[in-house]
Amino acid sequence: MSIDTTPPPHLCKAGVNKPTDTRLLEQFLNKGKMMGTFKTLEIKESVFENNNIQADLLRDELKEEKVFLLNLMSSPGSGKTTTLVRTIETLKDEMNIGIMEADIDSDVDAHTIAQTGTRVIQLHTGGMCHLDADMTRQGLNGLNTDNLDLAILENVGNLVCPAEFDTGAAKNAMILSVPEGDDKPLKYPLMFSIVDVLLINKIDAIDFFDFDLDAVKQRARKLNPNITIIPISAKTGEGIAEWTDWLRKQAKAWNQT
């Protein structure tokens, strides 16, 4: 996701990379070698790299355990929890499902899910706006993945930060709801570029909003040519069969290979 190498100097010509005191120091010092009392230790490590390593590790373990983890992201109020309830209703007789609800505060979503009889855990991020791989691992430990086929992480409602951090999920999904507007792929390009599937929720309300479905599809595909786009209504059930088919196929493929 992030590019870890510093661009060669000629690529910096359009940039803002000003020489710093450190740069000057480097002209006189060989990196890592003593000169006077100071030395420079080159680290060159992407800060996200540690999270990426943890995420890959978690993915491998889940693969071994045959647990398909889906990371579900969206802005607040797009209908993540309602969509999950629909999804559970459709799939609960064929899969063991566990849900992790991540929020800054409260446990209202976990209560809603618990009413379906599904295994659920509420995670509090303590003000953090996203979950990373380590927090996801803690959540899975708390949920207990024994005999689980499908684990779904309902990430913090936010279209910005969750896109930056790999949680270790097998697949990433996002919900965009009609009232949010068709300009969201333009405003939050990273989110749309990292997800495998985009659910367009509240499609039953499309006549009441200036929402251009074709424009959203075009904008999302420009960022992410392989994205699967499914219009749904968690309220009426429209599109839920297509969505659960997608999920069923992905989970099957994950647990077979």
Cα–Cα distance, 193 to 97 (Å, whole number): 27
> Pick from 3, 27, 210, 225: which binds other proteins (CB under 8 A)?
3
Cα–Cα distance, 130 to 139 (Å, whole number): 13
CB of 172 to other proteins, least distance (A): 17
Cβ atoms of 197 and 217 closer than 8 Å: no
Backbone angles phi, psi at 239, to 5 degrees: 80, -10
Binding to other proteins, residues 151-190 (CB under 8 A): 160-161, 164
The region of 33-41, 61-69, 71-79, 95-103 touching other proteins under the rule CB under 8 A is 33-41
Cβ atoms of 192 and 198 closer than 8 Å: yes
Q: Is the dihedral of CA 119, 139, 196, 182 positive or negative?
A: positive
Q: Does 225 bind other proteins (CB under 8 A)?
A: no
> Pick from 50, 144, 218, 236: which binds other proteins (CB under 8 A)?
50
CB of 17 to other proteins, least distance (A): 6
Q: Does 104 bind other proteins (CB under 8 A)?
A: no
Binding to other proteins, residues 105-134 (CB under 8 A): 127-130, 132
CB contact set of 74 (below 8 Å; sequence gap of 6+): 80, 157, 159, 174, 175, 176, 177
> Pick from 9, 20, 207, 225: which binds other proteins (CB under 8 A)?
20
Task: Look at phi and psi of residue 44 and say left if phi exceeds 0, alpha if psi is from -120 to 50, else beta.
Answer: left
Is the CB of 37 or the CB of 256 nearer to other proteins? 37
CB of 18 to other proteins, least distance (A): 8
DSSP string over 149-167: SEEEEE--S-SSGGGGS--
CA-based nearest residue to 185, from 207, 204, 212, 165:
212
Q: What is the bridge-based pairing of β-strands 119-124 and 68-74? A: unpaired
Please identify which residue in the block is written with the tokens 């579900």.
Answer: 72
CB of 9 to other proteins, least distance (A): 12
Q: Does 16 bind other proteins (CB under 8 A)?
A: yes
CB of 165 to other proteins, least distance (A): 8
Is the CB of 149 or the CB of 166 nearer to other proteins? 166
Is the CB of 45 or the CB of 207 nearer to other proteins? 45
> Pick from 4, 146, 183, 245: which binds other proteins (CB under 8 A)?
4
Residues lying near other proteins in the complex (CB under 8 A) are found at 1-4, 6-7, 10-18, 20-22, 25, 31, 37-48, 50, 127-130, 132, 160-161, 164
